[in-house]
Amino acid sequence: MRTFPFSFSWSALASRTTARVSIEFPAVAESVSRRSFQFLAPILALVVSSFGQTEKTTPTSAPVVVTNKNVRSAITTMHDGQSVFRYDTFGDEAFWGGQLRLHQTVATLSPNAALALGLKVDARAVPPNVLQQIRKGRLNLDDPNNTLALLRANAVVGVKGFFTGNNLTSIGITCAICHSTVNDSIAPGIGERLDGWANRDLNVGKIIASAPTVAPFAELLQVDENTVRTVLLAWGPGKFDAELALDGKGFRPDGQTAATLIPPAFGLAGVNLHTWTGWGSVPYWNAFVANIEMHGQGNFFDPRLNDATQFPVAARAGFGDIRNEDDLITSKLPALHFYQLGLSAPKPPPGSFDEAAAERGDELFSGKADCARCHVEPLYTEPGWNLHTPAEIGIDDFQANRAPDHRYRTSPLKGLFTHTKGGFFHDGRFATLLDAVNHYNTTFSLGLTDAEKQDLVEYLKSL
């Protein structure tokens, strides 16, 4: 049996030629390629171990056939999924540009104004000479023409401009607008992409409210445009309300916005139910968002949305059964799902937590604090149906009652350091991790000392 070094190169046995497989696709940030490699490593290991044979049989399993075609397919699918995640609008420009005319507002925004709204710039899409000007402070970031130039270069993360000549004639959005940010390597808001990271700077509501018209939302919700803008402007940075278009509830009973924090899209491999309230699996939510929230053109089916009592807006609008003959979404869902599963949670930077305290916190997590009962390692959520009633976790039921199962999901904990801005829990009600620990300490009468609480916090920071 042949042996091969475990690297990014492998021998194409069938053709007797050498092929190079690079996990870093064109225009992929280094951090993203590493996460992709971590996902594909088990597949590559199987291929390397099986070169020179077509079957591998173990005493306890049926024959497993592994060929390099599997790896080729996996890498192609990852590449396709990355493209969908970053650049595909699913035809939603017909809504954001065609109906809301949002491009008219964007055409007046300077780069500084766009950055202030939480939009990000992909440094790898910006010409090198322009990057040098930005580094040296020589590019006029108060000139809207430079925003248009960035859009032409496809450099605004999650936003795609459509041009006729020099005129911006429409605009669309992609998954990356909410679920990617950048590493600020060039300047604040400008750097290499960090796919899967929640953009907690993005002021979605303010961006939508700035459109020349929000009449489509007003018609859907059966309210006036001023009311729509009031609701949108209440969201604030890092929040979005996916249920507004279903139940029409803009505010909680306590008067606070009904919007919830944008969650990360990494670390989802092995996680069953998605979103804060467990609406469904990752591909379910992708289809839901692409059709209903992004306003793309596809097909979607969920008869639960026909419940006019719980979801009056969705039932009235027919969101439970969306049909489009020219479907721009469904064929892209498999690759999108595959790519997301390849986005592993990033590790916290060295020095960002107390290692000795984290080790003690690890013992508490699985012991006295009993966190691991629900946050089961290594997923840090329950394998299976990972939902709990509001009473079980000691909080109110407002957001849970906006979802079909009236429950909250046990959220995965890896990569917490990437999304501390905005607070913790679905609505950011706990400003710090210590606040969240204190809540559970009281709710479950854990009897944690102050020192133990701090150790537990350091462990959570280490995940």
**What are phi and psi for residue 409, nearest 5 degrees?**
-85, 145
40: Cβ–Cβ under 8 A, 6 or more apart, which residues?
23, 71, 74, 75, 78, 342
Please provide the CATH number assigned to the domain covering 355-462.
Answer: 1.10.760.10
Q: How confident is the model at residue 11 (pLDDT cuts 50, 70, 90)?
A: very low
Residue 253 is encoded by which pair of tokens? 């009973």
**What is residue 60's predicted lDDT score, i.e. its pLDDT?**
52
278: Cβ–Cβ under 8 A, 6 or more apart, which residues?
386, 387, 403, 405, 407, 408, 409
Report the half-sphere exposure of 263 (CA within 13 A, side-chain side).
23
Mean of pLDDT values over 221-227: 98
Mean of pLDDT values over 325-348: 97
- For residue 10, pLDDT beyond 70: no
- For residue 416, pLDDT beyond 90: yes
DSSP-assigned letters across all residues of 338-363: HHHHT-PPPPPPTTSS-HHHHHHHHH
pLDDT digits (tens, 9 = 90+) for 436-457: 999 999 999 999 999 999 999 9
**Mean pLDDT computed over every residue of the chain:** 89
pLDDT digits (tens, 9 = 90+) for 368-391: 999 999 999 999 999 999 999 999
Sign for the CA dihedral angle at 195, 31, 39, 375 comes to negative
Mean of pLDDT values over 333-339: 98
Q: How confident is the model at residue 98 (pLDDT cuts 50, 70, 90)?
A: very high
* Domain map (residue ranges) of the chain: 9-85, 97-202, 355-462
pLDDT digits (tens, 9 = 90+) for 38-79: 445 444 444 333 333 333 334 455 655 556 888 889 999 999
Give the H or E element holding residue 178: helix 176-179
Q: How confident is the model at residue 156 (pLDDT cuts 50, 70, 90)?
A: very high
Longest dimension (CA), the chain: 72
Paired strand residues for 407: none
**What is residue 410's predicted lDDT score, i.e. its pLDDT?**
98
pTM (predicted TM-score):
0.85
CB count, 10 Å around CB of 120? Answer: 29
The span from the CA of 154 to the CA of 86, in Å, is: 10
**What is residue 68's predicted lDDT score, i.e. its pLDDT?**
84
Instruction: Tell me the residue type at 141.
Output: L
pLDDT digits (tens, 9 = 90+) for 168-219: 999 999 999 999 999 999 999 999 999 999 999 999 999 999 999 999 999 9
**What is residue 65's predicted lDDT score, i.e. its pLDDT?**
53
The span from the CA of 231 to the CA of 249, in Å, is: 9
**What is residue 66's predicted lDDT score, i.e. its pLDDT?**
52
CB count, 10 Å around CB of 263? Answer: 19
Residue 349 is encoded by which pair of tokens? 């930077």
Paired strand residues for 300: 322
